[in-house]
Chains A and B, each alone.
Chain A
Amino acid sequence: DSGVTQTPKHLITATGQRVTLRCSPRSGDLSVYWYQQSLDQGLQFLIQYYNGEERAKGNILERFSAQQFPDLHSELNLSSLELGDSALYFCASSVGYSGQPQHFGDGTRLSIL
């Protein structure tokens, strides 16, 4: 158990819809990272928040957005969903904002029908 909690575990929805993925970091961790994992692309970094502020941005689509709240939990919002958005979405957390080990949650599997 990494201490990182992601909900829900599975999401099934239709194209065009909007969903929210939630992540609670390990106790004491200030950074939250979001990754998308698909079979052919591996782990793709989306975005990082540190203590409530955006720290780094990766290949995140404009249809996707995220935020980190004062209690340090984070949400990833995916809108206007397309079939290609079907993937496993991981959240990870670390103590600092750079260079520390990242601890991954169990992921949310998103299926778009």
Chain B
Amino acid sequence: QQPVQSPQAVILREGEDAVINCSSSKALYSVHWYRQKHGEAPVFLMILLKGGEQKGHEKISASFNEKKQQSSLYLTASQLSYSGTYFCGTRRDSGYALNFGKGTSLLVTP
């Protein structure tokens, strides 16, 4: 089942912070985060496993709340290069494939 991402879109000024949420109605084993810039391929940011938290990229970090089946991606002191669409991918178990959300569009302006 496709996870739900919120918000659908957000506009920030450079230096501001943002939070992107990813929720599932099913218990999750892991959450993967990717960023896709316009006209480009998605690029891996980080993986969060059940029971753990991992920082993966620049000033971007994430959390994984297993009880709520929810992950949040935190972008601090945003830079222009952070603009793009952020996708979360969720896995229900170690043997399952990733199920991606519809994405959150982020625009950072000067």
- Chain A positions within 8 Å of B, measured between CB atoms, are 2, 4, 33, 35, 40-45, 48, 55-56, 58, 90, 92, 98-99, 101-107
Contact = CB atoms under 8 A, between A and B. Distances in A.
A107 B100 contact: no
B28 to A, nearest CB: 12
Contacts, number: 58
Interface stretch (B12-20, B40-48, B63-71, B75-83): B40-48
Interface string B94-108: 111111111100000
A58 B100 CA distance: 11
B98 to A, nearest CB: 6
Interface string B31-66: 010100000111110010100000000000000000
Contact of B41 (A45, A58, A90): A90
B97 A58 contact: yes
B97 A33 contact: yes
Contacts of A44: 100
Given A42-B103, A44-B100, 17 more contacts: A35-B100, A40-B102, A42-B87, A42-B100, A43-B42, A45-B97, A58-B99, A98-B91, A98-B94, A98-B95, A98-B96, A99-B49, A99-B94, A101-B32, A101-B47, A104-B41, A106-B40
B21 interface: no
A11 B97 CA distance: 27
A10 B40 CA distance: 14
A103 B87 contact: no
